[in-house]
Chains A and B, each alone.
Chain A
């Protein structure tokens, strides 16, 4: 039955067509339209003037834009080297038949379900310089000299705005990895046990290698997520103070909606799309799963 559906071209067309049309209308067409806008000097109303690749030249010479790109690369690095290892650790612990498996799974997944704006509001209260939880905590344990305006200073704002995002999606990656670990056949673990392998050895030599397909998916999601991050940064700092936490998406927003430069803003959006595409291709090329 199933096979006959998959080999029936008409059936495939009927099932795929609506989604394909919607996808084209709300994803592909806007990408092409934005690519066209990115070649214009345009204020969003009236007629734009065609200026070729001038916006792209500006993008790669403007120090503010370059800084936003640097931030998004830093953020991607933080995702790969902090977020994913933590998720993996939690997933492995969770998959090794601990007590309260379901409970922990749910608890770690809760931040993923909460709206990012709520998460951002929550953390901006934690970081608040006047009454924030973090400063209060530091004062209570006798470290009041460390208390500061976390989101309002150049030296701390970037790290302070990364932490909530990294934290928010740990549960998401954990769940994916957990599912990957759980899908490995129990026979293999039993064989390893009989051979006398320790838990750590089993994890590194059996579980992790067999989870490679899932890990690759997590890697792609986490890097693309880092390149696209917007809402959390926008609510927490708005890209400030002094552009220290600016990422390409917040720069795009300011460019379009505060300075009316739709052309330049579109160039930034095209850059984000290309950045994501290139990274996905690189990851697919270098991490072979079959």
Chain B
């Protein structure tokens, strides 16, 4: 009996072993055959476009499918991850030396700068032809240059402006503001009508930063802001104190939702789209969400330039934004040439088709494209961008990472009334100068 049991066990083990060996070998041989037959190269792509109402999230798969069927020898495998998580994920994988071949990067600022400096990103200048550069929109070829080298191609441009819910303005009998005084008036009227004048998702801290930054640009003018980025002691000057005072005045006048410190960016968009607030300073990436059929504010929202100030040096053609985001190639990729080919295709396709789908303003020439399908928000954003005389992108992208954190924290304190405008500017003057060429 015992002997029989032993023998049976032996047989079972042997069969099991053979089975698993067979499974392994068949798996590996078929894989090997596949890659030998077609010689196909696999490139990995990471991006952050996964939102329900994000037009890019819908476009990307179709663009990649088309590429994959046109290029059987270069196959793209895409992984999408949502915004804040994406940033953590890409930072970790670059630090670990395991970056994907092609990945999305927040361009023109402190996000990509450390990786460019330390050589983690591939210089693609040699792969770009003049023909291709000629297809870029005006100023774009210069915008992506970094110390004479090019690491990315632009996809979209984003600019921030004031979004107003006209229905709520009408209800309150308020006028769409074009000056600071009118803005304060509108706040009073909206408040009197029981409407939250403006929404800030200050839990994430950057939505509040958008308000201060654009106020400072209107007060001091874009040139003065650029100077201060290079020489932070200039943050402590009367214009920036006045800007901080205006920001605090708005907060004290009750312009912002009382729940701002517990409201996240996503909740802010949700509240604005539900018609629970009359104003919001955001970039045109919110357009598709506002125009989504699920949004109660659909068709009622207008985008207008942020008001100018009676005593300000800035004009409404000085734009907050112009940030060029794009895809980058990891310097560890085994197939730089193929990755560059794909990058060129992806950037142009996404830049033009994405514009038509309302994902962002174009960084590529759009002559001959049919723009009739664009929403009024997209069209008016494009109109505002056409008037631009100067651009300054998101300050937290321009400032070195640690100073960007301090900047956002200071604005939160200003909004809460914890520091005076003077203290705010004194601390701003302690920031590090930017490492970028503005």
Contacts and interface: CB of A to CB of B under 8 A. Distances in A.
A104 B294 CA distance: 41
Contacts of A44: 91, 94-95, 114
A172 interface: no
A183 interface: no
Nearest to B116: A45
Nearest to A238: B203
Contact of B95 (A152, A254, A262): A262
Contacts, number: 74
A9 B318 CA distance: 77
A262 B118 CA distance: 15
A257 B118 contact: no
Interface in B388-435: 401-402, 405, 409, 412-413, 416, 418
A242 interface: yes
A7 to B, nearest CB: 23
B313 interface: no
B204 A238 contact: yes
Contacts of A242: 409, 412-413, 416, 418
Interface in A235-255: 237-238, 240-242, 254
B260 interface: yes
Contact of A241 (B119, B258, B261, B405): B261
Contacts of B257: 130
Contact of A237 (B91, B203, B258, B412): B203
Nearest to A127: B262
Nearest to B409: A242
A45 B114 contact: yes
- In the complex, which range does the number of interface residues on chain A fall in? 20 to 34
B259 interface: yes
Most buried by B among A45, A257, A261: A45
Nearest to A43: B114
Given A240-B203, A259-B402, A260-B401, A152 B418 contact: no
A223 B402 CA distance: 32
Interface string B79-92: 00000000110010
B276 interface: yes
B418 A261 contact: no
A152 B405 contact: no
Contacts of B276: 130
23 contacts: A43-B114, A45-B95, A45-B115, A45-B118, A45-B120, A128-B262, A130-B257, A149-B258, A150-B262, A151-B262, A152-B262, A153-B261, A237-B262, A238-B203, A238-B204, A240-B412, A241-B203, A241-B261, A241-B416, A242-B418, A257-B91, A259-B401, A259-B402
